[in-house]
Structure 1
């Protein structure tokens, strides 16, 4: 009986935790803006990415990002970026991110929501982890965010 109770509590806890996880699949196209090659092995590049996304709450939308990256010997030293998501109901949220010490066209990083339309303000300060891969300027990625209860309700309640 004790083991059954532990199993039920564990399962219930996992279900509660899982409901507050946002999973977003995204894709897009990278467009180079400028490159400053300051040495044989180093450069700073700026580019934009535009694309679309879907999430595990049946939401969808478009996104764009602005990126500035310092690269040495094919590895990212620092990458700073700002990303805007626009949902199907025209609501917007804004992320700020930074990544370093990874390959130029693949990596894992962290972002935080820094701004949002009023109806999405419950998402501000949401932290996320993303994984990205770029092949021939095509972007493929996934992002996971842990949501508080209000942010969860906001995303579940968006007009489909």
Structure 2
């Protein structure tokens, strides 16, 4: 389920599933010294497509995406979010944004529900991927099998 939030919403954790996961190419640059905790999590109702180079999550009934919940330090939250919006080429209300940032329900490994920000493929990318993209059937970018 996608939830629409106003700009004054509390500081949600970030669900990451590709190059922003711990040990991947963009994790240290975006999060080193700026987070308080990173925990494994699952996003249901979405599938992963190979970019290539990075994955895209797209809404899909019955799918699931493996990733992590990143909790930025409160005092750096707005800076981290702005940096991620820039990295993901997210521009609010722009139909040609590479990604869109939405609030979605996730679950930790222990099954705890957590509302988090997730970057999904933008509308143009979503159409391209659904027409000719390759789904990562495992739901895990690290294990695309």
Structure number with the bigger relative contact order (C-alpha 8 A, sep ≥ 6) is 2
Output the TM-score relative to the length of structure 1: 0.32
Output the TM-score relative to the length of structure 2: 0.34
Q: Which has the higher strand share?
A: 1
> Which structure's CA Rg is the greater one?
1
